[in-house]
Chains A and B, each alone.
Chain A
């Protein structure tokens, strides 16, 4: 809860595609110009959770959407950094964070709040609430 309270108002969700259009343990990309914040990767886990992160690894900008998704992490395809899908933070001992966008599934559709990514502080505790909470 605390993480989104830092966000002044509730996020505005945009419908992106049906859940079934993103492969399990895979990702798709929302293309955006750099000046609009750049590409966003939309991930789907084995348990059908969805997450959205800036499609840029904090290490050297690798496209996270092209990585291997495992558990709640994605391995960057360029140098194998592991990034947590729920926070965008790199798994220790690597350090860094990819901007995170709120994402959810409604009526079988993936929705992402694209109005400005949330950068989580390295020690920031973000609470993942269940759908509809």
Chain B
């Protein structure tokens, strides 16, 4: 590999994971340093981090992985005929496959004086060192170029005590990333930090002082700016010289195909030096996407294709929150939603085309940057949330963060992840120390945002600000888990189209990489099989989470809780007596009334479960399963002076019709007898509200991490229609939802219009869905009282007792039976 930078090294890391022994690897690097995080040069310049902290792969890493490393050796020639590369010092290495990762070189303005001492660019460690050194000895610095890099350099030099003037050719700063309003806000805040600006200013010449070092910058119009240091940050261009001289086809960069091969198929190119479908990239996320594809192809697992990337920008200047993505300037066929609050220093612009978000600029409050960027990349219809779009994802109701929006203004000890108790400082430290780049990596290493996920936006902000420029939020096509590259949709489709009815058959057909999956994919596969082929696919208890295997809810101490099913939330004295007797007989420590109008018996020992169920004589309630949980009701017209409909009976009917219904995730229903809505139907997966003239049906509400108000689906007249419509909606969700996707996310993915088309516009489709649900549930056993029919493994409730002592086996050194 030629080039020891981030893109190339990422490719090698991916390759070593896929096929550690496929190649003997040699790396040439022109710089005398091992691979470091170039994005973090700015924090090094500003003194917030040290050089050691930004090294990604130290020399030991190369040695450990058997990689021969030539540092400080620039490759000057590729001999394609004899397949070898030659370095400036005469080193020669042969190759079977060559990977060019030569990066880019800074553009140098063709002005007089450009070669003077004290005139540098901003690209590598040597430049950074030169700036740090100059800041110690000199006073005046001029940065030419008011783009991302130029401003970071200017900020760093200012923090090191220099008087810095930024000279920019264009009318406003970062014109490729910002619109004029945001740029003006940025300029004002940088001026407050002590920077000076000359906009629409053209550099004409650099003038030397008595020492021979640069002393001033001459602008068109005659102004002279004092300058002991001049940093040119006017752009980069792909470094293609080596490839060009070797006769490889180049335009702006080395031209590559979707598998990152140049016109010589033995030679791959990756990173800033390539031109892919006419685009060049200078940000880290697209380079890492390329690395994945390239490594895949090098490992001869040629299934990946690189299809180009969209990019976003985040400025790394401490105290300035700035984010832009996509097309934020708009055009004649676009619309803009703008929020401007100058006193608070907040400016947000969203650019929409039709019902899609195509770009955004955020200044001051960037908490939703990652979310907007995701919407831009996914090209999702935002019609339904357009009125709330500007107020961001967190405005849709995140809980647990005291409404905190701006991660970078938080102190290090501020708690970010309320589930796992992870504070900001720990996340920042993990990102820096371990060189993390993606949300997934941060989740793995710190657990932050890995539980309920509500702090994802905050963690993404910290990641952006700490790891730099941008990062991969999540690939467009997210694989189901690490055992496969297939998505949830791929798996669902294959199971349906090819009539797969067992987990081994599905894994074999879909080329699973692991022999029997993992704790993520097996429950998903099991659900897809039984929901797609009811009565045909065989349920696999060992592929279900413990709650669905033991039919009770595991607690932190390994005991279980039992929630007897009380239909519609109504109970009787006889049931209550039995519950009380069971609590006494089995010494159950806690009895708790739940939010779903049930009674929870907590702390039941596993071996007592069968007897507890028997004594209760009530189904235990699926109160723990990815299934119908409860139907909550108000008392309704039977007792309530406001009630218009018999909501309790409706709830009981729904619960009797739908219990034993497994689903992609838990399902909660509620029925209220009037619009006062005492059963909270507005935040349920299916919420029914009685009115004088019938029933209103709402779907896809949620009262959890994000409070989501259910959306109106239909108004019907009779109880039978409520069953049919609600059942049809739930069956659609059961057939098309992804495992662990709540109805709210399912509906937001497929669109409410699609749901309406299936259920309202087409009566035969609705009836067919409802019939399929009834077919699936017909005859399904009650696992608490028909354990054998429900294939509950009764052995799990019986502890093992060691029976006899075998004689010590002197011959056996085995620690395990093979």
Instruction: List chain A positions with a Cβ less than 8 A from chain B.
Output: 1, 3-5, 9-17, 21-26, 28-31, 42, 46, 49-51, 55, 60-63, 66-71, 73, 75, 77-80, 82, 86, 93, 100, 102-106, 111-112, 114, 118, 126-133
Contact = CB atoms under 8 A, between A and B. Distances in A.
Contacts of A23: 541-542, 793, 795
B137 interface: no
A10 B802 contact: no
Nearest to B802: A14
Contacts of A129: 813-816, 818
Interface stretch (B157-165, B518-526, B707-715): B518-526
Interface string B541-578: 11101100110001011100000000000000000000
Interface stretch (B270-278, B781-789, B803-811): B803-811
Given A25-B516, A75-B518, A66 B805 contact: no
Given A68-B523, A68-B542, A71-B516, A104 B812 contact: yes
A131 B558 contact: no
B538 interface: no
B799 to A, nearest CB: 4
B817 A50 contact: yes
A35 B228 CA distance: 74
A38 B515 CA distance: 32
A62 B558 contact: yes
Given A14-B805, A77-B554, A70 B816 contact: no
A55 B804 CA distance: 21
17 contacts: A11-B808, A11-B812, A14-B804, A28-B799, A49-B817, A51-B816, A62-B558, A66-B549, A71-B514, A77-B546, A79-B451, A80-B519, A104-B812, A106-B817, A118-B815, A129-B813, A133-B812
Contacts of B816: 49-51, 86, 102-104, 128-129
Given A4-B815, A10-B812, A69 B542 contact: yes
Contacts of A126: 815
A98 B793 CA distance: 26
Nearest to A126: B815
Contacts of A106: 806, 817
A98 to B, nearest CB: 14
Interface centre among B515, B517, B558, by most chain A C-beta atoms within 10 angstroms, is B558
Contact of B802 (A78, A104, A112): A112
Contact of A70 (B516, B546, B549, B810): B516
A1 B806 contact: no
Interface string B631-652: 0000000000000000000000
Given A15-B804, A23-B793, A128 B522 contact: no
Nearest to A93: B445
Given A26-B542, A62-B558, A77-B554, A70 B519 contact: yes
Given A82-B518, A130-B814, A133-B813, 18 more contacts: A10-B810, A13-B808, A13-B812, A14-B803, A16-B803, A21-B800, A26-B793, A26-B796, A28-B800, A30-B801, A30-B802, A66-B558, A77-B545, A103-B816, A118-B815, A130-B818, A131-B817, A133-B812
Interface centre among B523, B545, B813, by most chain A C-beta atoms within 10 angstroms, is B813
B538 to A, nearest CB: 14
A113 to B, nearest CB: 9
B529 to A, nearest CB: 16
Given A67-B546, A128-B816, A14 B806 contact: yes
A42 B818 CA distance: 14
Contacts of B585: none
A105 B811 CA distance: 15
Contacts of A21: 795, 800
Interface centre among B444, B541, B800, B811, by most chain A C-beta atoms within 10 angstroms, is B800
Question: Which 9 pairs, one residue from A and one from B, show the smallest C-beta to C-beta distance?
Answer: A75-B519, A104-B817, A63-B558, A31-B799, A130-B818, A68-B519, A66-B546, A14-B802, A105-B817
B545 A68 contact: yes
B805 A12 contact: yes
Contacts of B818: 49, 128-131
A23 B791 CA distance: 13
A70 B522 contact: yes
A78 B806 CA distance: 35
Nearest to B555: A78
Contacts of B550: 66
A31 to B, nearest CB: 4
Nearest to B547: A77
A29 B799 contact: yes
Contacts of B802: 14-16, 30, 112, 114
Interface centre among B541, B805, B811, B815, by most chain A C-beta atoms within 10 angstroms, is B815
Interface in B390-407: none
B800 A29 contact: yes
Contacts of B813: 1, 4-5, 10, 129, 133
A31 B793 CA distance: 18
A70 B518 contact: yes
A78 B519 contact: no
A13 B802 CA distance: 10
B454 to A, nearest CB: 17
Contacts of B815: 3-4, 86, 100, 102, 118, 126-129
Nearest to A127: B815
A67 B817 CA distance: 21
A5 B806 CA distance: 20
Contacts of B795: 21-23, 28
Nearest to B434: A93
Interface in B359-397: none
A23 B804 CA distance: 22
Interface centre among B514, B516, B543, B549, by most chain A C-beta atoms within 10 angstroms, is B516
Contacts of B805: 12, 14-15
A25 B504 CA distance: 13
Contacts of A1: 813
Contacts of B557: 61
Nearest to A103: B816
A80 B811 CA distance: 38
A114 B739 CA distance: 40
A77 B560 CA distance: 12
Interface string B655-695: 00000000000000000000000000000000000000000
Given A71-B514, A103-B817, A78 B556 contact: yes
A65 to B, nearest CB: 9
B800 A13 contact: no
Contacts of B546: 66-68, 77
A96 B811 CA distance: 31
Contacts of B808: 9-13
A17 B800 contact: yes
Contacts of A46: 515-516
A123 to B, nearest CB: 14
B750 to A, nearest CB: 28
A133 to B, nearest CB: 5
A23 B544 CA distance: 13
B800 A78 contact: no
